[in-house]
Structure 1
Amino acid sequence: MPTDLNWLAILAATASSFVLGGLWYGPLFKKAWCREAGIDPDAAPQHQGRVFATAIVCALLSATVFSTLLPTTATAVDGFGVGFVVGLFFVAMSFGINYAFAQRSLKLWMIDGGYHIVQFVLFGVILGAWG
């Protein structure tokens, strides 16, 4: 486990989750996600500042801890593989358990799970390439 963290790479990975989220939950899947989540697509979230602050803290913590999973010799390809495994088998499958019990739709699970798979792939590629 590396002890020296590359904070610039971690910040870039954190920022990538916001760029991805803007595209994913914007033009790509906003209408479908809102329909499946039962949210009005035209309504701004209450306490929008708190929502974005929470999201950035969570993304920063995720990117920071994820960076410790990669060996110091990791490449972008290594990061891609680790990110895919973490995104699919840890995050998306955990969502799958919760969504099954909450009786959420398969489409909502695929949208949310897909976002996190791509998010962690981006984390891995950025952190591995920057290593």
Structure 2
Amino acid sequence: MVPDITWLAVVAATISTMVVGSIWYTPKVFGNYWMRVAKVSPGAMKNAVVPILITLVVSFISAWVLAGATYLSFQFYGGSFLANALLTALILWGGFTAARFITHDAFEGRPVGLTVLNCVHELVTFMVMALIIGLFGV
């Protein structure tokens, strides 16, 4: 079975990751805290073209995988496409994203607050992507 993916939803979900990240890491929200605990200087962020392009590519891949996994979940379990999207995002986030962040950050000795900040950011990002994908439906 090949997942039926709504590409417009994938593109919109990809763009949403940039919006969420721009809000989340703005200095007035969590940006100042993030820069302090991650030891990132404000000057280092002046040339962010390459990280932004990388983020767009990996966000597209994440949205595409989430859309495909949601379709498969919906085909298997039935019910609401939106509910399947949100639950699939939560499971994928917990099983892959959060688990990997926690493991790597523990070995790198990163502050717990930074790990929590980044994990919750990824949770919000995945849930917004799921909301978009779920609302587009199949």
Alignment match, 1:18? 18
Q: Distance in 1 between matches of 2:54 and 2:23?
A: 19
Q: Which runs of 4+ in 1 moved over 4 A?
A: none
Give the count of matched residue pairs: 130
Q: Which residue of 76, 87, 95 maps to 1:81? A: 87
Deviation of 1:85 (Å): 1.9
TM-score (normalizing by structure 2): 0.85
Secondary structure of the residue aligned to 1:116 is helix
Deviation of 1:75 (Å): 2.2
Query: Does the 8 A contact of 2:24 with 2:31 survive in 1?
Result: yes
Q: Distance in 1 between matches of 2:16 and 2:43?
A: 25
Q: Distance in 1 between matches of 2:135 and 2:62?
A: 18
Show CA shifts across 1:95-128 (max 9, x none).
0000000000100001111111111111211111
Determine whether 1:98 maps to 2:100. no
- The RMSD of aligned alpha carbons is 1.7
Query: Does the 8 A contact of 1:2 with 1:71 survive in 2?
Result: no
AA aligned to 1:11 is: V
Q: Distance in 1 between matches of 2:51 and 2:71?
A: 32
Q: Which residue of 120, 135, 138 maps to 1:129? A: 135
Determine whether 1:54 maps to 2:62. no
Deviation of 1:4 (Å): 2.9
Identity of aligned residues (%): 26
Query: Does the 8 A contact of 2:3 with 2:71 survive in 1?
Result: no
Q: Distance in 2 between matches of 1:94 and 1:21?
A: 19
- Structure 2 gaps of 5+ residues are 75-79
Mean Cα deviation higher: 120-129 or 71-80: 71-80
Q: Distance in 2 between matches of 1:112 and 1:66?
A: 19
Query: Where do 1:24-35 residues align within 5 Å?
Result: 24-26=24-26, 27-35=28-36
Mean Cα deviation higher: 74-83 or 12-21: 74-83
